[in-house]
A and B are shown apart, each in its own frame.
Chain A
């Protein structure tokens, strides 16, 4: 019945929505930032544990739609072990993938995150996918206050 939505709601997204990874409070986090999408009321708290330049652990709490939950869940998986510079580069590629006009985007560079490429066809849902990454960006810039997609 929902054939048109196969690109957007891939099985991986349903899976992460049902069983979000790294879904926990991190008591000894070095960075903790809240992300908020006032348009839909989605909220998440992102926790990072750092070892110098390196993200050694990432987790989150919050509630959101399947796209935003899958996005943050996948993100916490993929940034673990990455340096700040690498994570930032990933953010830029992800942003380009979900919002950019460039058809030639290198999906290999984003690995599993490629399942979220479908949102670019749904302008109303792009922010659901990017909220996690904007929150990460704020955390990496060491902003402690909450950030908002608006």
Chain B
């Protein structure tokens, strides 16, 4: 921990110097979205000042410059998740759009009435609703693998759900409401043993864990840029090339075609087949800058620093009477979800906000998880590489004081 360059990192994120309600900002809502380092902010502004034009279209110099930068960012993403080929990196708006894309292209082409899709009890709404919509359209059936009270997937029950009607397993790599990290290697092995492809929702995992899609051998991996210290409005769908090639396109339009006539159009190859229309050019380049920034610090260093933060926060939280931690999986990322006896999470959120502390209070787009624990909502502190033990002390002091005020 002593070697982690926390002071330098904090100085790299200008927003951390903000005062909120006259107090220093303590930003613990990273699970919802992360703050951005200068490297990202500057790269976006640099694009608009020096490198901006539409991509893949013009012969003029600026367009070529923008296209080069854009494709360089794709290569950075490829390297970051160790995909075999940059063609397998499809830029979308975020994890949500990526999952909808997979449901509406791969899903529609391969999943029929009576077929089954397996998810888990801890999914974000964006890994539930797109599959429910597909099931409504096709007559397929959604199966939900259960979890235990600690918020861990019950692996044997998951495996028992797999059968010869299962066409896809779609599970979260890390739960946003609980912090649980799923045993994705075992999940993939069990599914692949039956030739079932696996999609991982990496929206939460990507800023906390080193991800190697080839080592995992997952078939799809999706995430959003904004939770990875990059811009909002941009995200990634990774898919194995053979799968992507066989999939029908998602949206029709410019950039995704080879030829168009009024009789018939032919589609472009990967990755363009799935990237109709002008993308968020500067933001893709900004995501590339975020990845450079993370690589400089090192994913392994970030992960071990955050693990220490989480264990410190958990230890401290356990000292507070009336506080119940929601989500106590053995394998857990930097998220501390909790409820307080007789104090609603929204009141916790407003009270802490008055101290400059930003946490999330609500159902975290995971209403089934809330139902499972019999709570309407939880309060959630989610940590990033720029958070500190002192900030956790401020949080715990705030919680202790608000419990006193509520009496």
Contact = CB atoms under 8 A, between A and B. Distances in A.
Contacts of A2: 351, 354-355, 401-402, 405
Contacts of B376: 40-43, 63-64
Interface string B207-239: 000000000000000000000000000000000
Interface in B92-131: none
Contact of A1 (B346, B347, B355): B355
Contacts of A41: 362-363, 367, 370, 376-377
A24 interface: no
A5 B362 contact: no
A32 B113 CA distance: 40
Interface in A91-125: 122, 124-125
Contacts of A66: 343-344, 347, 406
Contacts of B347: 9, 65-67
Interface in A36-51: 39-43
A1 B346 CA distance: 18
B280 interface: no
Interface in B332-357: 343-347, 350-351, 354-355
Interface residues of A, number: 24
Nearest to B348: A65
Given A14-B407, A18-B407, A65-B346, A5 B351 contact: yes
Given A41-B370, A124-B350, 14 more contacts: A1-B355, A1-B398, A1-B401, A2-B405, A8-B350, A9-B351, A9-B405, A40-B345, A41-B377, A42-B344, A63-B344, A66-B406, A69-B344, A125-B350
Centre residue among B354, B370, B401, B406 by max chain A CB count within 10 A: B354
Centre residue among B21, B344, B370, B402 by max chain A CB count within 10 A: B344
A40 B370 CA distance: 11
A14 B362 contact: no
Contact of A39 (B344, B354, B362, B370): B362
A143 to B, nearest CB: 23
A5 B363 contact: no
Interface in B361-407: 361-363, 367, 370, 376-377, 398, 401-402, 405-407
B358 to A, nearest CB: 12
Interface in A1-44: 1-2, 4-5, 8-9, 14, 17-18, 39-43
A148 to B, nearest CB: 13
Closest 9 CB pairs of A and B: A65-B344, A41-B376, A65-B346, A4-B354, A1-B401, A41-B363, A41-B377, A66-B347, A65-B347
23 contacts: A1-B355, A2-B405, A4-B354, A5-B351, A8-B350, A9-B405, A17-B406, A40-B345, A40-B362, A40-B376, A41-B362, A41-B363, A41-B367, A41-B370, A41-B376, A42-B344, A43-B376, A65-B347, A67-B346, A69-B344, A122-B350, A124-B350, A125-B346
A72 interface: no
Nearest to B401: A1
Centre residue among B376, B401, B407 by max chain A CB count within 10 A: B376
A128 interface: yes
Centre residue among B350, B402, B407 by max chain A CB count within 10 A: B350
Contacts of A63: 344, 376
A64 B344 contact: yes
Interface string A54-82: 00000000011111010000000000000
A14 B346 contact: no
Contacts of A125: 346, 350
Centre residue among A17, A39, A65, A125 by max chain B CB count within 10 A: A65
A1 B354 CA distance: 9
A69 B21 CA distance: 26
Nearest to B406: A14
Contact of A4 (B21, B344, B361, B401): B21
Contacts of A40: 345-346, 361-363, 376-377
A125 B354 CA distance: 13
A71 to B, nearest CB: 13
B346 A128 contact: yes
A64 B115 CA distance: 40
